[in-house]
Structure 1
Amino acid sequence: MKLIQLTAITAAVLASTAALAADPVIVIDGNNAVVYEAEPVAVAYQADAGYAYNADAGVLRNTTGAVVGGTKTFFQTVTQPAAISAEVGTLGYGANVGYALNDKTELQAGWAGGDVADLFGGDFDANDVNYEVETDFSNPYLGVQLRPMANWFTVGAGIIVPDNDIDVRANAEGEGFYRIDGDKFYAGQADADQIAADDFGGQNVGALEGTIEHRNKLAPYATIGFRPNITNNFGLFGELGAAYMGKTDATINRVAGNPNPAANIVADQAEKDLEDKNWLEWMPIVKLGATYRF
């Protein structure tokens, strides 16, 4: 009986001291003391492998789970993104890389740019003067894509760092004049008949051309979109939204050597009209693209 009691007591003590298995265990029964050297207990932990790819929902794999699990370093994760995409749209032509934090959240870093003036019509009117536009966009951006329902529907937000060159040139009407505040000003030298016909005297102010620039150095944006899959690795996406580029500053170049004081007056008024126009203060975002997932 004592042997059975001793055995039961020993088993209970050993089980309750598994966390201290490296220390000896002493069991006392009456006048007898027995010392047991417990064997170390090995406990295996397996790191979370991350989120599995869901072909129906289009969810990207979790690249951060590997970092937490210790199977990859942070540097390896950064250099091995979850996806890369090519895009074309109103911000320009470009690409981005995505890093999936979980099944609903993806960080993005990208760039889009080029001459996209034709996407906005190629010209616009500011106070009865038509301006031709040429652009050279450069729009690096950082953002986050959310899948609130863990399917193909996405909501995006982020920041654009715009560095966009926008050149404008006034298109002369009729016999080569601009109409500023109801008066005619000529891009070339007015002839005698024009001077006699115009109340303001047919002033020659030369070409009206210059630049406009958005004031925001950081432009917030928001989008909604869709990201369906074609295969386990390839997918398509589309997005609609807007970026707030801010109000504009305009500069109209004065004609060098033109002694006519009307040239400065007209240039100042043209700048004011362009700034009042605030061309693309809210820039629409429309983009289409393709994605490759690793």
Structure 2
Amino acid sequence: MKLIKLTAISAAVLASSAALAAEPVIVVDDNDAVVYEAEPASYAYDADAGVVSNTTGAIFGGTKTLFQTAINPASVSAEVGTLGYGANIGWSLNEKTELQAGWAGGDVADLFGGDFDVDDINYDVDSDFSNPYLGVQLRPAGNWFTMGAGIIVPDNDIDVRANAKNDNYRINDENYNADEVGTLEGNLEHRNKLAPYATIGFRPNITNNFGVFGELGAAYMGKTDATVRAVNGTDPIRGAEAAAAAETELEDKDYLEWMPIVKLGATYRF
């Protein structure tokens, strides 16, 4: 009889572990009840794919495993790109899905020359970016190819200053004398407080713990509000006209609605 009872208890424990039951297994022996805890899900690192696999076949094995996963991230990464210098933390849900939380910012303009052209005017740019983000990285084929999506919470300061050419600012097909206008300077601000983004990329491994990655994509930042001022000019009226024309020209550029995402980085996996 004891052998039968022990066999039944062992079978119950094994069955509960195989099914990843979050609830304890209770076996009644006459008047005594014995409680057996199910084992949490176990994970293994896949060096070829660069992901953490759930060897028991489930995303989470109950509340305890969810908590353990939350406080024990699968990876940390450092990055540099159009959103700035930054870092992120990743949590692997399974071999094809990883959640990410990160931040990128700083003076991005210095990375890309510090100027841009709008029609006939060249603008010097000084920036101070802050882009916290939440996203998910997918590996649809279970290999190094990735697809990402998420939300950025942008707080970016973009200051601009127009450069005169041949002592003139040419705005909307009209010439404004640089001495009369003075210096045209101002700032740009995107309207979106939440900016959705999407990327594609690659994440090959160098060792079991170290890897590199690259991503290409875009974030929709919304329409641009421009504020331009004319300072130190000899003709304030002419300066105000040039500033208003420059604001309109900056806001009419659709490409400023989209922030290109280009980033490179390195990852360490625990």
Is 1:99 aligned with 2:91? yes
CA contact (8 A) 1:82 1:100 kept: yes
Match for residue 83 of structure 1 among 75, 78, 95:
75
Q: Which residue of 2 aligns with 1:184?
A: 175
In the superposition, the TM-score normalised over structure 1's length comes to 0.74
In the superposition, the TM-score normalised over structure 2's length comes to 0.80
Shift of 1:183: 3.5
Q: Which residue of 2 aligns with 1:114?
A: 106
Q: Which residue of 1 aligns with 2:226?
A: 250
Where in structure 1 do 4 or more consecutive aligned residues deviate above 6 Å? Answer: 64-67
* Alpha-carbon separation, structure 1, partners of 2:78 and 2:262: 14
Q: Which residue of 2 aligns with 1:226?
A: 202
Is 1:264 aligned with 2:240? yes
- Report 1:181-220 matches (<5 A): 181-188=172-179, 204-220=180-196
- The superposition leaves residues 128-178 of structure 1 with CA deviations (integer Å, 9 ceiling, x where unpaired) of 22211121111110000111122222111000011111111110111x221
Match for residue 139 of structure 1 among 131, 142, 151:
131
* Alpha-carbon separation, structure 1, partners of 2:31 and 2:59: 33
Query: How many aligned positions are there?
Result: 246
Q: Which residue of 2 aligns with 1:198?
A: none
Shift of 1:95: 0.1
% identical equivalent positions:
67
CA contact (8 A) 2:233 2:239 kept: no
Q: Which residue of 2 aligns with 1:239?
A: 215
Aligned partner of 1:240: which letter? L
Q: Which consecutive unaligned segments of at least 5 residues does structure 2 have?
A: 13-25
Q: Which consecutive unaligned segments of at least 5 residues does structure 1 have?
A: 1-6, 23-37, 189-203
- The superposition leaves residues 223-242 of structure 1 with CA deviations (integer Å, 9 ceiling, x where unpaired) of 11111112221111111111
* Alpha-carbon separation, structure 2, partners of 1:220 and 1:120: 23
Match for residue 68 of structure 1 among 62, 65, 89:
62
Q: Which residue of 1 aligns with 2:22?
A: none
